[in-house]
Amino acid sequence: MNREITHENIVALKEVILEDKSIYMVFEYAEHDFLTLRSQISLAVLKSLTYQLLNGLLYLHDAHIIHRDLKPANILITSSGVVKIGDLGLARLTHQPLQPLFAGDKVVVTIWYRAPELLLGAKHYNKSIDIWAVGCVMAELASLRPIFKGEEAKLDSKKNVPFQKDQLLKIFEVLGTPSEREWPKIKDLPEYQCMRRLDHYSNRLQEWSQSRVRSHEGANLLKELFAYDPDRRLTAGEALRHKWFQEDPLPSRNAFESLSTQQVPPHRRITQDDAPSMMPVAAVGSQMQAQGQVSHMQATGQAHLSQQLSHSHSNHSGKAGSAASFASVSGGGGAPARKKARLG
């Protein structure tokens, strides 16, 4: 999948290297991610980052790809202020898929960015789950903290997906409790009866937005990204045409254009925990962030190699794929062979 994607706002796959029983994927380098934005950003920066994120997402959606794990750690920024969507480990094709989306991954999207239909047990979903995640990311950029920071209920011993009560309550506290009038199909979702037993809340998104988004149209965009009914949620294209992006300050291709050198966020720092040794390990790892870092995925045989490259699973550790990083598919122990066979 990565090799077929070419867009300014998507992290590019530069090279695929075969070494013994491992495959290394080399991605372009980006100096920042959204997690490095730890001080209040201007309206111009917020608008530029959000616009570019939606622009990259529009490309993916037009290619019938759902990202399924949009979050600040997976959204990179180059030193020239260009947004790059990374880590397609959970991404899936929606056009004539080989199997239903739910069949492969019962849990998708990191909990704080997970759309309500997923939290309520929907087995059939679409691109709108990415749009909800964009709303969460935009809100987090505006407030410097996750807007819906709930506690995740973990899978039980039989891998059953539990009811995510706390996360739903965090959403309802801001957006209010959804009704059948605004979301007619909600009554058909598996966890609807559990949801009905929760406390009832009123919508206070407007109040939340006033001091954070600092724009009436920006607050309106957030409201439309957070539509409970997936069928009424904006598409990426509709969001890009929203009035907020037509107001001054206009979005820029360089999100840092209006910032001084001192205001540009620091580069991502890689700790020893983020940079494992080159020795293969039998665990699924997300694509590591920075030059020369390696993560490993257990190989299950050459017959499944291409599928693993396209359908590797994220470990949700917050370490996004980044430029000049290496992601590895490893088939066994021992150090990689020095001889390299380049693919493509």
Spell out the domains of the chain, with CATH numbers in brackets: 2-29+268-343 (no CATH), 33-263 (1.10.510.10)
31 φ, ψ (degrees, to nearest 5): -80, -20
Q: For every one of its 344 residues, what pLDDT tens digit does the chain have, with 9 covering 90 and above?
A: 777 899 999 999 999 999 888 999 899 999 988 887 778 899 999 999 999 999 999 999 999 999 999 999 999 999 999 999 999 989 998 876 545 555 555 566 899 999 999 999 998 999 999 999 999 999 999 999 999 999 999 887 776 889 999 999 999 999 999 999 999 999 999 999 999 999 999 999 999 999 899 899 999 999 999 999 999 999 999 999 999 999 999 999 999 998 766 567 767 655 545 444 333 433 333 333 333 333 333 333 333 333 333 333 333 333 333 435 555 544 444 444 434 444 43
* pTM of the shown model: 0.77
CA 71, CA 133: separation in Å to the nearest integer?
A: 7
Q: How far is CA 81 from the centre of its chain?
A: 19
Token output for 94: 């929606």
The pLDDT of residue 318: 37
Catalytic residue from among 69, 87, 166, 229 = 69
62 is catalytic: no
**SS3 at position 51:** helix
Q: Alpha-carbon dihedral of residues 95, 99, 101, 106, nearest 10 degrees?
A: -170
| Amino acid occupying residue 276 | P
Rg (CA), the chain: 20
CB 7 within 8 A of CB 56: yes
CA 130, CA 338: separation in Å to the nearest integer?
A: 40
CA 112, CA 140: separation in Å to the nearest integer?
A: 10
> Does the bond joining 336 to the residue before it have cis omega, within 30 degrees of 0?
no
List for the chain the helix, strand, coil content (%; round to 5): 35, 10, 55
The pLDDT of residue 108: 67
**SS3 at position 342:** strand
CA 148, CA 167: separation in Å to the nearest integer?
A: 7
- By CB atoms closer than 10 A (0-12, 13-18, 19+), residue 306 is exposed
